[in-house]
Structure 1
Amino acid sequence: MVRVTITQVAAHAGVSVASASRALNGQIASAETIAKVRHAAAVLGYVADATAQSLQRGRTNQLAYAVADIGNPVYVEMMSAIERVVSASGYRLLLSSTGTTSSSVDVVRDLGRGYVDGMILSPLRITDELLTALAQSPTPVVVLGRLPDGARLDTVRADSFTAMRLIVDHLVTEGRRDIAFVNGPTDTTPGAFRRDGFAAAVTSHPYLSTRTVDAQDFTIAAGYTAVRQVLAGDQRPDAVVAANDLIAIGAIRAAEDLGLTIPRDIAVTGIDNTELAGVVRPGLTSVDLGAEERGRVAAELLLARIAEPSRAAHTVTVAPSLVVRGSSLVAGHGPKRVAPALEHGDEATAFGTEEAAG
């Protein structure tokens, strides 16, 4: 089928091409001209060229969401929240998988092609190369995660330190005294902060016996392998704190394969409070890091940045809450949600703490 052009629409309406363009793009034109042009477009079956319109208007009405693992349920939950916000403002959301650090850099550099009006990026690793690409990006970027102090970008953070304190305090209350922390790769942002958060949390309980093991990835399979090795040792812990829910589910499977009963023989906890945490049996105790809220806030920050490019950079920290289920409870206790206690110096002591950066 031959595409109808705006020149043909203008000729059919008896107006100039410039007048037809203004009428179709909502610019200044008389009511009579708008009526003629719209009628001509309908008769001829004219469909506007979205690419040409984007070039004319300087925008695409598209936003990107770039993550390392599009299959991770945390990213899926964030994506759903982001999509709800941006679609309500007339934007289409494009999904991009970064996978590696180099891919994160490439996807930021590609913003110079002008295919989107803004991006929400959730990088696993922060490198100097990525920071340079972010600083030089001609397109607004909001980062889901942590950047070094002084980075003048909008960011939305989780609070891993409070998350670890909630978990450790809960396990101590449940009578656990030998805790193994099973982390993911520590060269990642979540791995580093959860490692440091666990180390800080156990200092309040000097009588605890603790150990740390790094799984090869934040996955069920990697969690299974790491925990199987921990549980096969001479000194079996009475609790496993996993760096995310996927590792925790691998831990549950490893314990079951060794004939252990959860939580009688060993407690298991996770982080993220994904949908999976409520599906496994026993239900998985997990810290909710506010994935949906972080996605919503990131989307709102990006829309605000697009509307006002010169506004000050903002950092928002979403406070966690502990969702207690059967995987860590002693007999007779039921599921519950525990919010963080307010303490002076906490990284975040309220839901959605916000501060101007820089």
Structure 2
Amino acid sequence: MVSIKDVAQVAGVSVSTVSHVINETRFVAPLTKQRVIEAIKNLGFQPSMMARALKVKRTNIIGMLVSSSSNPFFADVVRGVEEGCYQHNFSLILCNSGHQPDRQLANLTTLLQRRIDALLVMTTKTDPALYDQLSKLGKLPKAILDSAPHPNACTLQDDSVLGGRIATKHLIDRGLTKIGCLMGPDDHPRSIERLQGFKTAMEAAHLPINENWLAAGMLTASGGYEAMKQILALETRPDAIFAFNDLMAMGAYRAVQEQGLSIPQDMSIVGYDDVEYASYMSPALTTIKQPSFELGLSAAETLISHLEEKTEMPPVVQLVPELIMRNSVKH
């Protein structure tokens, strides 16, 4: 196995010089540095990442806690984080809690033991115990994605109030006035904001809001299916639905079609997120595009810029949603 002493011998320099080149801890003359780099390359030397971390007090590792990596939106965010890490020679350790609070705290302990340089958190529900632990992490750079803000972390999210308004206004502009919602859990911050956007658009158009048409459920296909069935069981039904994510919209499709109804002739549906399969649904789903990949990429770049260039961490980074028109809304 090739050692740092072998590199020093081939390059004709001291071991400490090789160490300074690898760890970038001291200026080394360009010609000397080039000899060391060529020796490393020719010998196939692999520096110990842990040894380097101890010298420079950085591991170039970002840890990420998610509550569910199976959600297509979450997967796209993670893909953006991975891309940002790759572009800047950082590694990513991803931990999926499966919506289990105890497992989430255990994952956090594991990440801290790996001496991560920064932490990303993306959860569907705010766990007070987790947020209490985040407060105890001192100066460790932290970013919260699509979850409730934390006072000691940068929060990255889309403007869900605006997104809710855009979705509802699109339905109204198509002549639809009897509009219901498939909402997420009452304590989910993005769900609260999308409902606020919905109500703002309805009030601006002087349209009544029927509380019976506001059905809550988990932000999943099964959650959307059950919530949609509740609405369809009512004697008086809406003619349009704003689903708070595309998974709920997919469940709503099934519930509507099981009743022998047609989309969009009998029921118009707008989703949220614009996950990949939205354009393959039948009919193709009109939805609000949440820039999920860009959200993850921006989170990674914000943390890495803070670590490498000592830039200030902004308290909030907000991305703008946009309407993607397809075929699930009646003209």
- TM-score (normalised: structure 1): 0.79
Cα distance in 1 for residues equivalent to 2:268 and 2:41: 67
Counterpart AA for 2:120: I
- Alignment length (residue pairs): 325
1:254 and 2:255 matched: yes
Check 1:165–1:9 CA distance in 2 against 1; reply closer, same or farther (3 A cut).
closer
SS of structure 2 residue aligned to 1:316 = strand
Q: Which residue does 2:215 correspond to in 1?
A: 213
1:301 and 2:302 matched: yes
Cα distance in 2 for residues equivalent to 1:253 and 1:54: 52
- Shift of residue 315, structure 1, vs aligned partner: 1.4
Q: Structure 1 residues 75-84 or 157-166, which shifts more?
A: 75-84
Task: Deviation per CA, 1:135-185: give whole Å up to 9, x if none.
Answer: 33242111113545x824222121121111112222122222222211122
Cα distance in 1 for residues equivalent to 2:297 and 2:7: 42
Check 1:39–1:175 CA distance in 2 against 1; reply closer, same or farther (3 A cut).
closer
Q: Which residue does 1:92 correspond to in 2?
A: 91
Q: Which residue does 2:115 correspond to in 1?
A: 115
Cα distance in 1 for residues equivalent to 2:285 and 2:11: 66
After superposition, residues 136-285 of structure 1 pair within 5 angstroms as 136-137=136-137, 138-145=139-146, 147-148=148-149, 151-210=151-210, 211-215=213-217, 217-285=218-286
Q: Which residue does 1:49 correspond to in 2?
A: 48
Cα distance in 1 for residues equivalent to 2:86 and 2:228: 42
- Give the fraction of aligned pairs with identical amino acids, expressed as a percent: 28
- Shift of residue 218, structure 1, vs aligned partner: 1.1
Cα distance in 1 for residues equivalent to 2:116 and 2:273: 29
Q: Is contact 1:9-1:41 (8 Å) kept?
A: no
- Shift of residue 193, structure 1, vs aligned partner: 2.4
Q: Structure 1 residues 173-182 or 104-113, which shifts more?
A: 104-113
Q: Which residue does 1:80 correspond to in 2?
A: 79
SS of structure 2 residue aligned to 1:130 = helix
Q: Which residue does 2:329 correspond to in 1?
A: 328
Q: Which residue does 2:317 correspond to in 1?
A: 316
- Shift of residue 287, structure 1, vs aligned partner: 0.8
Structure 1: runs of 5+ lacking an equivalent: 331-358
1:6 and 2:4 matched: yes
Task: Deviation per CA, 1:90-110: give whole Å up to 9, x if none.
Answer: 112332213334444444455
Q: Is contact 2:124-2:147 (8 Å) kept?
A: no
Check 1:234–1:23 CA distance in 2 against 1; reply closer, same or farther (3 A cut).
closer
SS of structure 1 residue aligned to 2:204 = coil
Cα distance in 1 for residues equivalent to 2:167 and 2:21: 61
Q: Is contact 1:111-1:139 (8 Å) kept?
A: no
Counterpart AA for 2:307: I
Supply the RMSD in Å over aligned alpha carbons: 2.9
SS of structure 1 residue aligned to 2:69 = coil
Q: Is contact 1:120-1:143 (8 Å) kept?
A: yes
Task: Deviation per CA, 1:299-349: give whole Å up to 9, x if none.
Answer: 22112221244725331211221112211132xxxxxxxxxxxxxxxxxxx
Q: Is contact 1:186-1:195 (8 Å) kept?
A: no
Cα distance in 2 for residues equivalent to 1:202 and 1:193: 14
SS of structure 1 residue aligned to 2:199 = helix
Tell me which protein shows more helix as a share of its residues: 2
- TM-score (normalised: structure 2): 0.85
Q: Is contact 2:286-2:326 (8 Å) kept?
A: yes
- Shift of residue 245, structure 1, vs aligned partner: 0.3
Q: Structure 1 residues 26-35 or 218-227, which shifts more?
A: 26-35
Task: Deviation per CA, 1:271-312: give whole Å up to 9, x if none.
Answer: 111112111111111111222332232222112221244725
Counterpart AA for 1:18: S
Cα distance in 2 for residues equivalent to 1:106 and 1:93: 18
1:18 and 2:19 matched: no
SS of structure 2 residue aligned to 1:300 = helix
Structure 2: runs of 5+ lacking an equivalent: none
Cα distance in 1 for residues equivalent to 2:303 and 2:226: 39
Counterpart AA for 1:6: I
Q: Is contact 1:24-1:34 (8 Å) kept?
A: no
Q: Provide runs of 4+ in structure 1 moved above 6 Å.
A: 11-15
Q: Which residue does 1:333 correspond to in 2?
A: none
SS of structure 2 residue aligned to 1:313 = coil
